[in-house]
Structure 1
Amino acid sequence: MSTLGVNTGWRARAACRDHDPELFFPTAHSGPARAAQAAAAKRVCAGCPVREACLRFALAHLPHGVAGGLDEDERRAVRRRGAVGRPVARPGPRVLARRARAGGCSAAQVAMWLGVSTRTVHRWTAGGAA
């Protein structure tokens, strides 16, 4: 079970194995549509038991798409910082909510993506930008 000389046996336990692979490759180029598409993939990654192994593989081998809970821009930033092999700091739901709202997403959309109420989204985003 090796791809590019890397142990990928963890893939059999990946949360994404039963999802359409297209989910993990956003088609929108930028803005709220891209954020929404990436968020849908990241929700699958969030509960994955092999997320760390997937992220290590993605950092080394995958230039595109969402893998290990990060999109390609986030992985590029990790590589730039030289943080490969160290825990990855991810923005919390409040920051994600603020960014999505600032990008034009409705409170209802953000609430659905984050699994919270619209009231919570309004509370998190009151008076502040990302």
Structure 2
Amino acid sequence: MFKITPNPPETDAPTDSDPTSPYSTLDPTKLNDAAERALDHYLKPTTPQPPRKPSGMFVVAPQIDNESLLAHACESMASASIMLSDFAALLDTPYRHTLLGIQQVVMLGELAVNRALDNLEPPTRN
């Protein structure tokens, strides 16, 4: 179907006296300032942020050995796996599958931590 569209109104070319033209007064200084601001916005490096200092509220003591850390991580992941499994039993099918998928990821992480514990060389006691 052909729709008739009206022609735009005829206007004269913009001149210096046209108050509606945004380009009637092209001041080179204003254009240069605008270009500098645009380039600075995109290309000027931002001031570096000070290094982030982590909160000391939940800090793991630095003197704890790797074996203890891995054992604790393994126990935490095993607990999370059991909680997810128990909670999944209470839900209907679509949500149960999602929760069991999360539980499987946690269980695989637990297996990886267990393997790291098995491969860890026990420190020699003097």
Bucket of the pairwise TM-score, normalised by the shorter protein: under 0.3
Q: Computing the radius of gyration over CA atoms, which structure comes out larger, 1 or 2? A: 2
Give the number of the structure whose residues are more often helix, by fraction: 1
TM-score (normalised: structure 2): 0.24
TM-score (normalised: structure 1): 0.23
